[in-house]
Structure 1
């Protein structure tokens, strides 16, 4: 079950009310989960309960995605705006400096939250922002194509395609290495989320000049990359390590751009390892460096 929290944010136009949809479960230290562009909180379903066994897990629909409404009129979707919104969200939920794990756009936001010292630790799964201009243009073209397909395909056609492995592959192979593992219901839901997301275009436009080049000192950082990422090639992980030299760089064998569905157990271990309190013993047996 999801819930909605409303809170006030500061904007150039003054204070404005906004709200975010979230799902919360588990006990322990708080862990905030951030999805990628065009997705929704359900992308974390394969690992949500596994993480909730050790953490107070909060998965959210980012503003303008899933069932969270868009940001107020006149408010941009730039990092300088969305990061403070996430800080205000945490305050509204009563959590102080949570651990954060994010995928793609969510990974970039997680790193920015770490740079602003708003979180205890960062786990970034194939984060955006470490691309060359050509790699960014390629990724944005793929995303725009996926959005177009989601908008023009009639929902009954999506439902029919989702019932077969071939159909699920056609719809999701750019983000999953093992699309056949995704359930038909999940594919239908995430295609609908991509189709209706009011924040998609503005978020994509805001990312055209984004390049993450600053370190994240004083915060434990893990950067993990799928070995079969077809959207953001894993060589970008090496650039991430150069930008954040203290980060732990991890390879996710056999995983695509959205690895939670491809290998839930491995992704869970990486996130739990990256969000452990200093002094805890971390289970490193499943961790392989790039």
Structure 2
């Protein structure tokens, strides 16, 4: 079941209230799941049960996405603000320094939270922020085209399209290597989430100048990249490794940009290996 929580965030305008939707399942050490731009927390459903067998799993809709409210008026969607808001969310949920797993934008946010000392381990799946300018323009152009397509399709047409394997591939082939594995209902829901994301444009605008250039030593970090990622090309993983020399760089064979659906067992294993290594490191 999805719940909501409201909490105070700091902003240049002073304290403001943010409200975020989340799902929580399992028990153990906390593990926070962060989706990518235009997506929603349901992106994690293929791996949630596996992770919840060992951890207290919290999947969130980022501010301005999914069922979460947009950030308060005048508050920007820059990396520092959103990462700080996620830290405030953890406090509101009674969570201290969770393991954080993020995909795309979520991976970038996970690394920024690590830089702020807010996490105990990071698994970043195709994280944003390691692109060249040409690669960034390509990715943003693809995202804008996907958003325009989602807005142009009336819901009945979207539902008809999602019923066929060819239609699901047309709708989500940019982010999945195996789009036909997604159910018609899931494809409809994530296309609507992309269409209705109130934070999309502001997040994209804030990301135009973002390059992640900081090491985060002292905690386990895994950067994992799908070999069939068509949005953020896998050579960006090499740049991430240069920036984060202590990180483990992992290939995800046959996976696209959002690998949780393409190979749930592999993604879960990568996440669990990273989180468990933090526990061993603490002994």
TM-score bucket (shorter structure): over 0.9
1: CA distance between counterparts of 2:3 and 2:263?
27
Gaps (5+ residues) in structure 1? 282-290
Q: After superposition, where does 1:185-196 map in structure 2 within 5 Å?
A: 185-196=185-196
1: CA distance between counterparts of 2:230 and 2:245?
25
Contact 2:33 2:60 in 1 (8 A): yes
Q: After superposition, where does 1:154-193 map in structure 2 within 5 Å?
A: 154-193=154-193
Contact 1:21 1:60 in 2 (8 A): yes
Query: How far 1:196 moved relative to its partner?
Result: 0.5
1: CA distance between counterparts of 2:134 and 2:278?
39
Q: 1:119 to 1:167 in 2, by over 3 A?
A: same
Q: After superposition, where does 1:1-290 map in structure 2 within 5 Å?
A: 1-278=1-278, 280=280
Name segments (4+ residues, structure 1) moved above 6 Å: none
2: CA distance between counterparts of 1:132 and 1:112?
19
Query: How far 1:280 moved relative to its partner?
Result: 4.3
Contact 1:237 1:249 in 2 (8 A): yes
1: CA distance between counterparts of 2:278 and 2:217?
15
1: CA distance between counterparts of 2:29 and 2:277?
9
2: CA distance between counterparts of 1:18 and 1:278?
30
Contact 1:117 1:219 in 2 (8 A): no
Query: How far 1:45 moved relative to its partner?
Result: 0.5
1: CA distance between counterparts of 2:113 and 2:270?
19
1: CA distance between counterparts of 2:80 and 2:8?
16
Q: Tell me which protein shows more helix as a share of its residues.
A: 2
**TM-score, length of structure 1 as denominator length:** 0.96
Contact 2:120 2:278 in 1 (8 A): no
Query: How far 1:13 moved relative to its partner?
Result: 1.3
**SS in structure 1 opposite 2:250?**
strand
Q: 1:233 to 1:88 in 2, by over 3 A?
A: same
Contact 2:220 2:278 in 1 (8 A): no
RMSD over aligned Cα, in angstroms?
Answer: 1.0
Gaps (5+ residues) in structure 2? none
Q: C-alpha offsets along residues 64-94 of structure 1, whole Å, 9 cap, x if unaligned?
A: 0001000000000001110110000000000
Query: How far 1:238 moved relative to its partner?
Result: 0.3
Contact 2:121 2:278 in 1 (8 A): no
**SS in structure 1 opposite 2:82?**
helix
Query: How far 1:279 moved relative to its partner?
Result: 5.9
**TM-score, length of structure 2 as denominator length:** 0.98
Query: How far 1:278 moved relative to its partner?
Result: 4.1
Contact 1:151 1:195 in 2 (8 A): yes
2: CA distance between counterparts of 1:110 and 1:280?
21
**SS in structure 1 opposite 2:122?**
strand
2: CA distance between counterparts of 1:58 and 1:105?
17
**SS in structure 2 opposite 1:118?**
coil
2: CA distance between counterparts of 1:174 and 1:10?
36
1: CA distance between counterparts of 2:277 and 2:26?
17
**SS in structure 2 opposite 1:261?**
helix
